Every structure is written in C-alpha cells, then in structure tokens.
Amino acid sequence: MNRIYTQADWINRAREVLPAAGFGNFDASIVIARGEGSRVWDEDGNEYVDYLIGSGPMLLGHGHPEVMEAVLEQLPKGMTFFANNAKGIELAEAIVEAVPCCEQVRFVTSGGEADMYAIRLARAYTGKPKILKFEGGYHGMSAEAQMSLAPSREVNFPTPVPDSAGIPQGVADEMLIAPFNDLQAVASLLTEHDDVAAIIVEPLQRIIPAKPGFLQGLRELCDKHGILLIFDEIVTGFRLAYGGAQERYGVVPDICTLGKIIGGGFPLAALGASTEIMMHFDKSVVGAEKWLMQLGTLSGNPVAAAAGIKTMEILKRPGQYERLRDLGQSLMDMQSEALSQQGITHQICGDPTLFDIYFTDVDPLDYRTAKHCDPKVNEVWNSNLRAQAVFKSPGKLYPSLALTIDDLELTRSAFKHAAKVVTEYEKGSN
C-alpha cells in the first residue's frame, strides 16, 4: 500500500533538500496540493479561497476549461522546440495589438529575465550606463533590480543599498535610487547625471498608486533628457486593463515588460518596444558591437503561448475588466468595513485589481511611508485570515475572475473575524 504523506511529512522532506525548506517564494509552512477555480487545497486537504493566485498569473482561476482545452490541444503536437512556432508568433501578434508601446516583442521565461533584458536594451540603445529606479520597486532578481528593493536602513538618495549578497560594487555605481512619487527628486537627479540610459518603474509600485501626473511627469522628463522610460508591467500588464497600466493611465513608455498573465499560468514573459529600439536584438541590422544577445531554452514555449493566447482571448471579451474591478472593489469595501467597525486604523492601498492594507494613519506614497505602525498587527490579520480559509500574500490581495458569491461571503466573514482578533491583540498589547 502506498503511504499517504501529510503536509508535515512534505515539510520535513523539503527541509532536507531545499534551503530554508522552500522555493524562496512563499511561506514554506504550507504545501499546496491542487487548485481548481477560485480555490486551492493543501496537502492535509484544507480548502482555501485563493487570493494569491500564483502571485498573479491565474487571473481566470485555476484550470479554466478553455485554457485547459488549448493546452491539451497543443501538448501532443510538441512541448518545446527551441525554434519558432506558430503559437509563439500568434501570442506576439496579440501582445503587439494590445499594448500601446509594443511594435515588436522578445520572449523570455520569467519576469526577472524580461526586466534584466529591458535594462540591457536601454543601455544598448542609448549608449549610456546608468539606470534610475525607485526605492522599493521590484524588478526581479538581477543585480540591478536588487538595489534598494527592500532596504532595512534608510540612506540618502540616490545611494543604492544592495538587498543581496554577491553583488559587486560596480553594479551599485551604475544605479541611482529615487523616492517613488517624487518628480522633483527625479528631475534633480537627471540634471546632475547626464549618463542615465533609462528610468525603470512599476506604474503601480507593489500596491502604491502613482500620484496624478507622476507617470506623465516621468514621460516628460525622459523626453527632455533623451532617456528611455521602462514600465515594468509584469504585474499590471493585462490586469489593470487589457492594454495594461499604459492603457489605464494613458502614459506610453519606450519599453515595457510583461509576464504572469500572458503565460496563462505557465513560465513565459516578454519585453516589447518600438521596432527601432528592438532592432538591437537583430545583429544583421545593428552589427556586432550594438547587438544585444538573448536566447533561452524555453523562450516562446508553445504550450505556454497556447495558454496565454486563450487567456488573453477570454480577457478581451466584453465586461471582464468591469467585473474584475467590481469584485475587487467589493473586497476592498468588505475589509474597510470590518476594520472600521472595530475602530482599527488602516489604509486600503492599491487598485481594485490588486491591493492590500497598511495598518497606519499615514497615506502610503512611497517605500518609506508604506509601512505598518505595528507590523505584528499585519501578522495577526493575515494568520487569522488563513485560519478562516482565506489564502493570500502578507502584502497583496489578488482578485480573480473565478470568484463566486460563496467565496465573497466566506471572505466577508473571515474579514470580520480577523478584525475582532486584531482588536483583541491591540487591547492586549496596550
């Protein structure tokens, strides 16, 4: 008889073969066994409403039947080729049609790769070395991206703080760090430094919205100084709107990166720009010295492309984004109502398609102001939500189109319960 492994068994096995007992992505104390629609189950059979949704890709929910049909149709035709394939070309066409800044795209496997190549592409195109990023902005795991992602100490801008060991000082020398939502600081830095290739920014930085005029101001500063504007749309692409943040906010970058949703739950990402900028991937056009070498074993994978094409086709149907925003707004209102009824100070931060709570009375405008007054309150809140069958990240809540009325009612009840527990904690800690 085959042994049935419990979640504790899997955690013990993970400790033997995985550093910190996990993949480095999420809480290693939970092992997910399967997902279906809006729900996931752990290895002990506990069921949750899923607001993590794979950190964003599963906007349609797990195992959407039309996406599954597209994947199953492709599988017997071949899983990967390391060569052009029709599905990859079709997906590129769909992205170019949807995303304002894209005339051409290049596929990679992960969002971090896409951001790394976007930075390199900006340097190749401009011939300049420096990159300006914003404190707290997440752009993957490259050496440049790991500068001031989550610094534990505050230093004077534009000094970068590496968030990882193993990054040489030379990388820091080519990075400038600015506070998000501060156009004056950016303008000052660009006046002082004439060797900046690009500004890279999340149009919605983690969950912090750009102030009115901020993104447009970045666009104008880039045009004034002859540098490129990169929108990291790994998260916001096809989530905030079909054409991403650049459609939603009406600001078109020079380069954008895309991931998560365009792969329909499979490993796939891309970067896109004008034909003039993207020509640096074509050695026959720009020559050896200006050529940007890029290849990847699974880039443009046909199974991932098939899932992405079908996902985008579904999202393009009338009413999908209106429904997503209605669901998200309902969840925002539920949280705020539950916390307000208990008199708990909080700020709902983000967009209805992606948001969470800061337990503070300060308006979160940048990395330094987007903090909990007492981080333990957030821990109590999230741990009690999970105990009430709500599965989410400690810092984000992703709505999905798979959510049902039953899911929302369960979630409403969980919010009310967690708010009461937070109140008890706050009384006990005073």
Which residues does the annotation mark as catalytic? 138, 232, 260
The four Cα atoms 316, 399, 110, 286 give a dihedral, to 10 degrees, of 40
Cβ pair 256, 273 in contact under 8 A = yes
Sign for the CA dihedral angle at 373, 375, 376, 382 comes to positive
- Locate tokens 């490129």: which residue? 228
d(CA 217, CA 15): 48
Sign for the CA dihedral angle at 114, 307, 28, 339 comes to positive
d(CA 110, CA 215): 25
Cα 328 → chain centroid: 17
d(CA 174, CA 343): 47
**Tokens read off for 325:** 């925003």
Cβ pair 135, 178 in contact under 8 A = yes
**Tokens read off for 155:** 């230093």
Helices (H), 45-182: 65-74, 86-98, 111-126, 169-173
Cis peptide before 158 (omega within 30 of 0): yes
d(CA 273, CA 97): 12
Per DSSP, the residues of 249-299 read HT---SEEEE-GGGGTTSS-EEEEE-HHHHGGG-HHHH-TTT------TTT
**In 3-state terms, what secondary structure has residue 80?**
coil
Burial 242-259, CB ≥16 within 10 A → b, else e: bbbbbbbbebbbbbbbbb
**In 3-state terms, what secondary structure has residue 42?**
strand
Q: Which of 386, 381, 384 has the alpha carbon at shortest distance from 336?
A: 381
